[in-house]
Amino acid sequence: MERSFVTVDVFTDCRFGGNPLAVVLDAQGLGTEEMQSIAAEFNLAESTFVLPPKDARHTAAVRIFTPRAELPFAGHPNVGTAFVLARLKTIFGKPVGEQLLFEEKCGIVRVDVLLENGAATGARVAAPGRLTRASDVSAEVVAEACSLNTGDIATDRHPPCVASAGVPFLFAQLKTRAALACARPRAEIFSQSIKPDLAIGVLLYVSEKRDSADLHVRMFAPLLGIVEDPATGSANAALAGLLAGLRPERDLTLRLMIAQGVDMGRPSLLEATAEKREGEVSAMSIGGKCVPVMRGTLDP
């Protein structure tokens, strides 16, 4: 059977910016290997496959694939898939409302549609888990993996560390925007020292207010087939949680505008939020705008 697909650019209001996503609609009957092959053919950072939910109270089941692996959760695929379904207005014979519930490998994921004058313009996804912080990693390893000098990495706020809001990433703060622009991933060092069972990628960030953004970031995941990601929702949600946790206040709502993809010509803008209550990070979310790009069919 022919299957429809839609592509959208996520975390941008301009076509050919942001992070592209392919959404395969009505993926019933496709096996895991077929989905993985289709995702490899699209060769985007992620592709999603929409299936009927097991629980009728939920909107859909959604599976997420990079060109090389399936993910239990990711931010930009949820934002883009919700945007696509909101524009369709119905899926599997049911109307699509302003809040969607997706069944995913990580559990139930809530996504809220962003509206302007009644039309969907994007979405916001809640991280499915609480913030967890795992092992620290030496600045030397991060520098070598990203073609930097150890002195480029700032360690006064925190050492490079693994944290997760559903998917683990390795976070490292850099001292300058220039160092961020110079970073280049070295897959052989990732293979030796930053394997996917530790963290699926490295997110480098700089605290610098510029062009409406509070932070500028880059994310590399070469072992998943993503040399560089234009916008990484799950990582930036966790980054907001990590930074909120480091703040001295016991209660706060931290909102950050985060620029990503600038150095690869796919500028993206993400809004990350973290809630901290009684000294613990209790919730994180990531949101942004989307733009439709293409639609077509997969041949049977």
What residues are labeled active site? 46
Q: Is 92 exposed, middle or buried (0-12, 13-18, 19+ CB in 10 A)?
A: middle
280 phi/psi in degrees, rounded to 5: -120, 140
Supply the DSSP string of 213-261, one letter for each residue: EEEEEEEEEGGGTEEEES--HHHHHHHHHHHHHHSS-SSEEEEEEEEES
Give me the sign of the Cα torsion angle 254, 257, 263, 268: positive
Q: Name the nearest CA neighbour of 182 among 174, 193, 192.
A: 174
Identify the residue whose tokens are 């998917």.
Answer: 167
Show the 3-state SS of 139-159: HHHHHHHCCCCHHHEECCCCC
Amino acid code (one letter) for 174: L
Q: Tokens 């703040």 belong to which residue?
A: 247
CA-wise closest residue to 97 among 117, 116, 73, 115: 115
CA dist 44 and 155 (Å) reads 33
Q: How many CB atoms lie within 10 A of CB 2?
A: 9
Question: Under a CB-based contact definition with an 8 Å cutoff, are residues 163 and 169 in contact?
Answer: yes
Closest by Cα among 74, 85, 77, 88 to 42: 77
